[in-house]
Amino acid sequence: MDILLTTFPQNKSKNVGDNLITQSTLELIRSRVSNYQPHIVFREKPLNGYSKKKVKNIIAPGFSVSNNVYPELFTLYEDLGRLKNFFPIGCSFQHISPSIDAFNTAYNKKTLDFLKLIVDISGPLPCRDQLIVNMLNDRLNIPAIYSGDMAIYDEKVVNTTFNPPTVINSVVVTIQHHLKYLEQSIILLKTIKKEFPHAKLFIAYHSTPGYMPLTVASRAQQLGFEILHQYGEVGNLEFYKNIDLHIGYRLHGHIYFLRNRKPSILLVEDARSFGFAKTKGTSIGCFEAFSLKENDPCIDVPSQVLDFVRQEINNGFESYYSVFNFIDEKYNAYIIPYFESLSAQINKESGPLTSKVNDLVS
Domains and CATH numbers, the chain: 2-153+327-361 (no CATH), 170-319 (3.40.50.2000)
Query: What is the overall mean pLDDT for the chain?
Result: 95
pLDDT at 291: 84
What whole-number distance in Å separates Cα of residue 225 and Cα of residue 203? 6
What is d(CA 61, CA 41) in angstroms, rounded to the nearest whole number?
Answer: 12
Q: Taking a C-beta distance cutoff of 8 angstroms, is the pair 277, 288 a contact? A: yes
309: phi then psi, degrees, rounded to nearest 5: -60, -45
CA separation for the pair 131, 137 (Å, rounded): 10
Cite the DSSP H helix spans in the chain. 16-30, 109-122, 130-134, 182-195, 211-222, 251-259, 271-277, 301-314, 320-330, 336-346, 354-361
Q: Please check the confidence at residue 148 and state whether its pLDDT lies above 80.
A: yes
The stretch 331-347 carries a mean pLDDT of 97
Q: Give the distance from CA 52 to its chain's centroid.
A: 31
**Residue 162 pLDDT class (50, 70, 90 cuts):** very high
The strand pair at 86-89 and 125-127 is best described as unpaired
145: part of which helix (H) or strand (E)?
A: strand 144-146
pLDDT number for residue 294: 60
Mean pLDDT is lowest, of 3-7, 11-15, 150-154, for 11-15
pLDDT for residue 37 is more than 60: yes
Task: Report CA torsion sign: 237, 241, 247, 252.
Answer: positive
Compute the average pLDDT of residues 213-237: 98
CA distances from 268 to 154, 190, 235, 295, 348 (A): 24, 19, 25, 12, 42
Q: What is the pLDDT of residue 361?
A: 43
The beta-carbon contacts of 328-333 under 8 Å, at least 24 apart in sequence, are 328/158, 328/159, 329/281, 330/146, 330/147, 330/148, 330/281, 331/148, 331/153, 331/158, 331/159, 332/159
Contact 218, 225 (CB under 8 A): no
Banded pLDDT at 355 (limits 50, 70, 90)? very low
What average pLDDT does this structure show over 235-261? 99
pLDDT at 53: 86
pLDDT at 358: 46
Amino acid symbol at 154: D
**pLDDT of 183 over the 70 cut:** yes
Q: Is the pLDDT of residue 353 over 90?
A: no
In the predicted model, is pLDDT for residue 296 greater than 70? Answer: yes
CB 288 within 8 A of CB 184: no
The mean pLDDT value for 333-358 works out to: 76
| Residue 11 pLDDT > 90 | no
Q: pTM of the prediction?
A: 0.94
pLDDT digits (tens, 9 = 90+) for 115-143: 999 999 999 999 999 999 999 999 999 99
